[in-house]
Amino acid sequence: MSDFIKNLTRKNSLRKQCQELGVAELEKVMSDLSDIIEEKRAEEAEKARIEAAKAEAIEAIRKQMREAGIELSELADQVEAAPRKSVKAKYQIEDDSGEKHYWSGRGRTPVAFAEYMKKHNITKDQLPTVN
């Protein structure tokens, strides 16, 4: 918890921090805090409204599924997972045994590529690219 928040949430700490402020300045702070409170209340009310609408929609879907005699597991079996896009290989090397290795250049460096770069004393940018 930051010192600022500690000062705001503890009455004695807040009193100490406000000693140098005049009444007009304190009233300004109160007005600003009231505005912030109203904004927060509106945000929370909107979030609650959205969650209630989602819960209502979910219940309506459940009701339709019950009426149709559909179980959630049956529905899950019918839904296909989104196909994952594969990234084309950018680099290609051949190890000592003649096996070809491909790498997109993304993510962690494969062991074969790390060994190849160390053996040939090169960087990733100097690797042979796929034709």
How is the chain split into domains, by residue range? 3-77, 91-126
- In this structure, the number of other CB atoms found within 10 A of the CB of residue 126 comes to 10
Q: What is d(CA 70, CA 62) in angstroms, rounded to the nearest whole number? A: 9
pLDDT tens-digit profile, the chain (131 residues): 688 888 888 989 889 989 999 999 999 999 999 999 999 999 999 999 999 999 999 999 999 999 999 888 888 777 776 677 888 999 999 888 889 999 999 999 999 999 999 999 999 989 999 87
Q: Name beta bridge partners: 100.
A: 94
What does the pLDDT read at residue 118? 93
What does the pLDDT read at residue 130? 87
Q: What is d(CA 97, CA 75) in angstroms, rounded to the nearest whole number? A: 48
Given a contact cutoff of 8 angstroms between Cβ atoms, the answer to whether 7 and 14 are in contact is yes
